[in-house]
Chains A and B, each alone.
Chain A
Amino acid sequence: MRSHGKGRTDGRMKGYILSLMMLMLMSVISIYAADAVAQKQQAHSLLQKQFYTEKTAYFLDDMAQDVRYVLRLDYPSNSAQLVFRENLAVNKSQFLANYSSFLGNFSQTTNTNVSFAYSDPLGIEVSNGLTYLSNFTNQRVDLYNMTGGPAAVAAYYISINSSQERSAVLPISFVGSGTYVWINYTDLAKPAKSFVDSGFVDPTALSTYEIKYGAGRSVFLSLGLVDGRQNAYRLEQSGILAVAGHSLEVNCTAPGSLYAFYTLPLNITLPGSGFTGRLPAR
């Protein structure tokens, strides 16, 4: 009888251990399954957010490509170089007003909401402090350091394509050292009255280059100390709209990973995301 009772106890014990093992196995599988599902949901949520961000980036890129039609910034392979290009003959105020109206209709089509503010001049601000401003009203282009110090530029390469025929040129008196300047001018005359000039200017003194188109009609290039800003650049048209293509390439003294924005404050609302800030120039 004693041995029979012991056998029964052993059997219960075995059953108990077996049940416990089954419960443990089920628990492990349940935890694993719950964890896998949670990870999956997290990954889905992250990817969804990433997709919304991509859509916002796509929209910003779309806008930037459109605005580049009137003013563009390119970074060549060397990040120390920045190239600002524009057609001064294009009325940027008119272009951007039309663009704003166009975007209003485009937004309805694409189920987005876009608004941006624009006032002349249109500009590009670079992360190293350089600011390029194109003022259509005054027919003037400026480049300077917005933080107040001298512009961090070692060389200016200026290309001007004029839609008029020049008469005379009053060149800069270059100096022995300073900021390097290279000017490439082409105009409408056949053959074009082109010229290339280069040399150094003193970044702490004003140097001017005047291209004349007749009495009271000139294009002025100012370099160095312009409006109290050192090592700055200005192109100004007086009495004539001669400059069509204008390209200003600058070699920055402090290269690095530069980024830039148009002076266009934006507010974009997309399904699932949005953006408030300035339009990236690149």
Chain B
Amino acid sequence: MGIPFPPRKPSASPMRKGFVALLDAITALFVLMMFSAMITNTLQQRILDPQAQLQRQGMDVLTALERSGAFYSPSAVLSETGDSVCMRLEIYNGTSTAVDSTSTKSGCPSSNSNERVVWRSFVANGQFKTARLAIWVKTQ
């Protein structure tokens, strides 16, 4: 007679092992995908917001208009700005609110609620004038 061995703890079954391994793999994959998604999302964000890019384009257009002396006949310059943007140019006498002339790019509506505004001063026949360019992304 002797002291009997305590009952042996049964070892984990192969099914249980496989379940744990699968759970482990799924968790790892989930974490990996989450990180990948975060990185991709971060890297694909635009560095400069579209509004700033619109303003930059507006500044270029006004510079071109002043250098070519085309503030009062801007259609040729405005039509060269690509199909994705719309513009409206207003010329003011001095800095007053009286509008000398208004031109809208061909094929565009006259205004948009998301327009960005760029200003430039110029001299015409000895008179100071103000040019106001409203620029926005064309919606289909």
Do chains A and B interact in one complex?
A: yes
Interface flags for A93-111 (1: CB within 8 Å of B; 0: not) read 0010011001101101110
Residue A54 is within 8 A (CB to CB) of chain B in the complex: yes
Residue A29 is within 8 A (CB to CB) of chain B in the complex: yes
Residue B75 is within 8 A (CB to CB) of chain A in the complex: no
Q: List 12 A-B contacts (CB under 8 A).
A: A29-B35, A40-B43, A51-B52, A61-B63, A62-B63, A62-B121, A66-B128, A98-B128, A102-B94, A102-B95, A105-B95, A106-B95
Cβ A48 vs Cβ B48 within 8 A: yes
- Distance of A55 Cα from B31 Cα, bound (Å): 44
Cβ B119 vs Cβ A106 within 8 A: yes
The 8 closest A-B pairs by CB, nearest first: A105-B95, A69-B123, A102-B128, A29-B35, A110-B119, A58-B59, A44-B47, A47-B48
- Distance of A40 Cα from B38 Cα, bound (Å): 13
Interface flags for B92-105 (1: CB within 8 Å of A; 0: not) read 00110000000000
Q: Which of A35-86 contact B (CB under 8 A)?
A: 36-37, 40, 43-44, 47-48, 51, 54-55, 58, 61-63, 65-66, 69
Size bracket, chain B contacts: 20 to 34
Q: Which residues does A use to contact B, with CB under 8 Å?
A: 22, 25-26, 29-30, 32-33, 36-37, 40, 43-44, 47-48, 51, 54-55, 58, 61-63, 65-66, 69, 90, 95, 98-99, 102-103, 105-106, 108-110
Q: Which residues does B use to contact A, with CB under 8 Å?
A: 28, 31-32, 35, 38-39, 42-43, 45, 47-48, 52, 56, 59, 63, 66-67, 94-95, 119-123, 126, 128, 130
Nearest CB in chain B: distance from A57 CB, A: 9
Cβ B56 vs Cβ A51 within 8 A: yes
- Distance of A106 Cα from B52 Cα, bound (Å): 21
Where chain A touches its partner, the secondary structure class is: helix
Cβ A22 vs Cβ B28 within 8 A: yes
Nearest CB in chain A: distance from B29 CB, A: 12
Cβ A47 vs Cβ B47 within 8 A: yes
